[in-house]
Structure 1
Amino acid sequence: MSTPTGKIAMLHTVPALAAPLGELAAEVRPGAQIVHFADESLLQDTIAHGGPPPHVLRRLVAYAAFAKESGAETLLVTCSSIGEAAERARPFAELPILRIDQPMAEEAVATGERVGVLATLATTLGPTTRAVRRAAARRGLRREIVPHLCEGAFEALRAGDAARHDALVLAGFGELAGKADVVVLAQASMARIVTRAAAGVPVLSSPRSGVAQLARPPAEG
Structure 2
Amino acid sequence: MKIACIHATTTAVAPIENAFREAAADVELLHLMDTGLLALMEEKGELTPDIIRRFSLLLNLAAESRVDCIQLTCSAFNNVTAVLQPLYSAKIFRSDEAMLDEALSYERIGLVSTVRETPIALLSYLNEKKPDVQVESLVEPGLIYLLFQGKKEEHDERVRKMVHQLDGKVDVIVLSQYSMEHLAEQLQPSVPLLTAPKASVRRCMAYLQQLSK
State the TM-score, normalizing by the size of structure 2: 0.91
Q: Give the distance between the partners of 1:134 and 1:15, measured in 2 at CA.
A: 30
| In the alignment, structure 1 residue 124 sits paired with structure 2 residue 118 | yes
- For 1:60, the equivalent position in structure 2 comes to 55
Give the 3 Å change call, closer, same or farther, for CA 93–188 of structure 1 in structure 2: same
- For 1:32, the equivalent position in structure 2 comes to 27
Q: Give the distance between the partners of 2:127 and 2:59, measured in 1 at CA.
A: 27
Query: Conserved in 2, the CA contact under 8 Å of 1:17 and 1:189?
Result: yes
Amino acid paired to 1:211: V
| In the alignment, structure 1 residue 207 sits paired with structure 2 residue 197 | yes
Q: Give the distance between the partners of 1:170 and 1:161, measured in 2 at CA.
A: 15
Task: Map Cα deviations across residues 80-138 of structure 1 (whole Å, 9 max, x no partner).
Answer: 0000013321112231111120011100011x21111111111112111222222324x
Task: Map Cα deviations across residues 120-157 of structure 1 (whole Å, 9 max, x no partner).
Answer: 111112111222222324xxxx3211111135622322
Unaligned runs of 5+ in 1: 1-5
**How far does residue 219 in structure 1 lie from its aligned partner after superposition?**
2.1
| In the alignment, structure 1 residue 179 sits paired with structure 2 residue 179 | no
Q: Give the distance between the partners of 1:152 and 1:40, measured in 2 at CA.
A: 14
Query: Conserved in 2, the CA contact under 8 Å of 1:64 and 1:97?
Result: no
Amino acid paired to 1:73: D
Give the 3 Å change call, closer, same or farther, for CA 152–31 of structure 1 in structure 2: closer
Q: Give the distance between the partners of 2:114 and 2:184, measured in 1 at CA.
A: 15
- For 1:219, the equivalent position in structure 2 comes to 211
Amino acid paired to 1:199: P
**How far does residue 14 in structure 1 lie from its aligned partner after superposition?**
1.2
Q: Give the distance between the partners of 1:161 and 1:122, measured in 2 at CA.
A: 19
Q: Give the distance between the partners of 1:34 and 1:79, measured in 2 at CA.
A: 17
Query: Conserved in 2, the CA contact under 8 Å of 1:177 and 1:199?
Result: yes
Q: Give the distance between the partners of 1:31 and 1:72, measured in 2 at CA.
A: 14
| In the alignment, structure 1 residue 96 sits paired with structure 2 residue 88 | no
Give the SS at the match of 2:109: strand
Q: Which runs of 4+ in 1 moved over 6 A?
A: none
Instruction: Tell which deviates more after alignment, 22-31 or 99-108.
Output: 22-31
Structure ranking higher in helix proportion: 1
Q: Give the distance between the partners of 2:137 and 2:11, measured in 1 at CA.
A: 26
1:20 to 15, 23, 30: 15
Give the SS at the match of 2:211: coil
| In the alignment, structure 1 residue 115 sits paired with structure 2 residue 105 | no
Q: Give the distance between the partners of 2:111 and 2:14, measured in 1 at CA.
A: 26
Instruction: Tell which deviates more after alignment, 38-47 or 18-27.
Output: 18-27
Q: Give the distance between the partners of 1:23 and 1:193, measured in 2 at CA.
A: 15
Amino acid paired to 2:70: L
Amino acid paired to 2:149: A
State the TM-score, normalizing by the size of structure 1: 0.88
Give the 3 Å change call, closer, same or farther, for CA 153–60 of structure 1 in structure 2: closer
**How far does residue 220 in structure 1 lie from its aligned partner after superposition?**
4.0
